[in-house]
Structure 1
Amino acid sequence: MNCRTESIVPTDTRELRLVSWNVNGLRAVAKKDPSFVEVVETANADVFAIQETKLQEGQIDLVLPGYYQTWNYAERRGYSGTAVFSREEPLRVIRQIGAPAADDEGRVCALEFDTYWFVDVYTPNSQGELARLDTRLAWDATYRAFLTELAADKPVVTCGDFNVAHQEIDLKNPGPNRGNAGFSDEERESFTRLLDAGFTDTFRARHPGLTGAYSWWSYRFNARKNNAGWRIDYFLVSNDIASRVTSASILNEVYGSDHCPVELAITL
């Protein structure tokens, strides 16, 4: 299944193509076929955001002609990390949101552009037995307040691995997974509060009843082959620009990670 949709672009506006991908280790993806650079070149996006880079500064020499590179590294080696590659140079960058338990993990790259904020996020996982649920919920609350503050200045586009399947339609097996990390009532309710704060889940808004649309699959049990997945990677936008979305897609033909990229086209 390929969830691409057709785009209808007004002639007097500029359509932006935006891509987000949890690469689960950039150095590994850079060596695969196709390589990370080839994936970026094929996508031809205005902004390409990644999560879970798992590296520190100087550990990769990534050549992407035409793109400005914005990185946020975790203090812990081989862990977390985010990056954004943008054709436009950001006016400023924010890398910490004031969440003490996770602000040293490289989880946010917020880039200000002329007409909008672009925010790449890798949300903390609640872990087995929900061992890190309190940290996760505290992060969610801080991130929600952070986005709300940005949105008071300019419209916001935020993307990344939010580590939650919001509704039952967003994972293959909701019953057995209820209460597990990524599908606990607490995490789902927290995501609802984020949407209620003034943001739209662009994929679900475009495809309200589409089943089998996932962005992450376990490496076990042939999950990807059987499409036993979860939709935990999102593009959210401020409600006041939701009508400008022209397409929202899951690029499940792209391999190299246990996640696949997600894509948004929007006129701004």
Structure 2
Amino acid sequence: MDFFDIDFSLTPGLLSSSVRPCPDDALNDNDNDSDNDLAYSSDVTDALSETSDSNSVHSGGNHDGSEVEYAGTEDIDTLRIASWNINGDLAVDIRSPAFINSITSNSITFFQETGLAPSNDISGHIPNGYEIVSLARPVVITDDRQWGGVAAVYESNLALTHRADLSHPDIIVLELEDLFVVNTYIPPPRSHWWKWSHVHPEVRLTEVLAACSGEAGGNKGFIVTGDFNGRTGHWQLDGMSDRFPRLSSDSFINTRGRWIRDSVCTPHDLIILNGTSIESTSPGSPTSFQAQGAHTVIDYALVSQDIATQISSLSVTRPDTEFDHALLEVVVEVSLPIHSRSSAADNGEKPTFTREECLPPSTTDLDHLLDDVMASAMTDEEACLDFYGPAAEHGAGANIYISCHGVANGRFRCAIARSPESIEVITVSGPRQNALLSAIAYVALHAPLTQALIFTSTQTPSFALSVITLALRISKGISMNLRRWQGWLISW
């Protein structure tokens, strides 16, 4: 048996979004859990006393400070907000029909547990006419994958700003003229939050809401959505049970649920929409579907009491049984226009430009070289096909078996078996996925070029996604003799 020890200098978050994760901790509904000590931060509370012009966005102002002309003459505009815990792997799922439909059907679509690392950029994969903001957790080198994270995909012509000064990993704040839209992922009570934050997630959210409320002077409404990992039973804000009574399919209330009641809803007069008559699809529908069969309500849409009458509907649906959380969609009727318009919109036309209008005529050798480069642009899939050629089998394939397990100090070991008599072992520092990718690359580099490789792994379907990711990453460097991606270097 041969042993190899590989110690890569890894860029944080290397390809961390290509593996379908498991929940970082099972949801614990036992009220006997001991509560972790809560650490308080100063950076959010400072926002209560400081107002920065660079972080303020006013009505009629664009992201760059220029004036925006608002579209339409109607008194009412519609804001559609979606919230979905996707259980990690947004980088892969963003192109799937369910995700594209969710994005294009809503003004703002929030995702929780994105599985993205700070270095991951998927802006090139979202539909045209939309922008994305991602708030990822710092990379924890001892974890076997990237956990948590939230993202917002929103219409490019929405007159809003991302409040970076109030947003943090797992919490994102968007501000409109008379509305704060907050999305959050609060991990289960037993999660090891101190590995990526010095402030407890519960404390962080209450600080953010307090900062928003203090800054707005109570003149702006709130819409708060996300996965709170807490069960609130049939509870509703005091004084609102007559107008917005709740009937939930989940009647249990736990410690986290009481925190939602006492620290989130009550101080800010937030009404829970789940289980009210506003929920248009089976009032009280469960939002979490765990493997052990528990169907609970832990994802919520909360709104300020003073804007509750502007909420048209809440729908709770499960787009695909592959996902263990429901998609929440809220429709809000707002009195101020929220969409900006371009000059072309006056004629009801979309602006179109030819390539010749965008670029001056080519006259120099450098111009012609630029033309050639632009004309040769390929998608990842096209580059992969161009580099590898069409898939073809020549003779019998070689069966490769790979098994991966963790060892000490955040290192993972992969056993590579070509036959019972031929077993090689490599050890890699960093997440489990790095070890899998290293093993795949090692086999590919030492296999006959014309022989088909048949991989089998205990990490299905994560392993298959790793193979696809590796192939696409390598294809991005087809113009280089050395294949390089995100801090890795492989040569042949």
TM-score (structure 2 length as normaliser): 0.42
**What are structure 1's unaligned runs of at least 5 residues?**
1-10, 175-182
Cα distance in structure 1, aligned partners of 2:95 and 2:318: 19
Which residues in structure 2 correspond to 1:164-243 (within 5 Å)?
164-167=230-233, 170=248, 172=250, 174=252, 184-185=254-255, 187-193=256-262, 194-197=264-267, 198-206=269-277, 213-218=285-290, 220-221=291-292, 223=293, 228-243=294-309
For 1:65 and 1:245, locate their aligned partners in 2 and report how far apart those are by CA, in whole Å: 28
Once the two structures are TM-superposed, the CA of residue 36 in structure 1 deviates from its matched residue by 2.3
Give SS of 2:276's match. helix
1:206 partner SS: coil
Q: How much has 1:116 moved relative to structure 2? A: 1.5
Deviations 1:86-113 (A, max 9, x none): 1144543224649xxxx4xx11111112
Matched, 1:70 2:142: no
- 1:165/1:108 CA distance change after superposition, 3 Å: same
**Counterpart for residue 142 of structure 1:** 207
Q: What displacement does 1:253 show? A: 4.1
Q: 1 CA distance for matches of 2:147 and 2:192? A: 21
Q: 1:146 to 1:22 in 2, by over 3 A?
A: farther
Say if 2:102 and 2:109, in contact at 8 Å, map to a contact too. Answer: no
Quote the residue 2:431 is aligned against.
Answer: none
Q: Deviations over 1:87-143 (max 9, x none)?
A: 144543224649xxxx4xx111111122322111112321279999x9354335324
Q: What's the offset of the Cα at 1:202?
A: 1.8
Contact 1:68/1:89 (<8 A) preserved: no
Q: 2:153 aligns with which of 85, 89, 106?
A: 85
Runs (5+) with no aligned partner, structure 2: 1-73, 141-145, 235-246, 335-492
Q: Secondary structure at the match of 1:58?
A: coil
Other structure's SS at 2:100 match: helix
| SS of equivalent to 2:226 | strand
Q: Distance in 1 between matches of 2:136 and 2:192?
A: 27
Say which structure, 1 or 2, has more relative contact order (CA 8 Å, 6+ apart): 1
Q: Is the 8 A contact 1:150 1:156 kept in 2?
A: no
Q: CA deviation at 1:63?
A: 2.2
Once the two structures are superposed, residues 36-66 of structure 1 have per-residue CA deviations (whole angstroms, 9 ceiling, x without a partner) of 224433xx11111111111123353422212
Matched residue, 1:6: none
C-alpha displacement of 1:35: 4.8
Matched, 1:47 2:113: no
Whose radius of gyration is greater, 1 or 2? 2
Number of residue pairs the alignment of both structures matches:
232
Please say if residues 170 and 230 of structure 1, whose CA atoms lie closer than 8 Å, have aligned partners that are also in contact. Answer: no
* Aligned counterpart, 1:178: none
% of aligned pairs identical? 21
Say yes or no: does 1:58 pair with 2:120. Answer: yes
Q: TM-score, normalised by structure 1?
A: 0.73
Q: What's the secondary structure of 1:188's corresponding residue?
A: helix
AA of the residue aligned to 1:92: T
- How many angstroms apart in 2 are the aligned matches of 1:142 and 1:129? 20
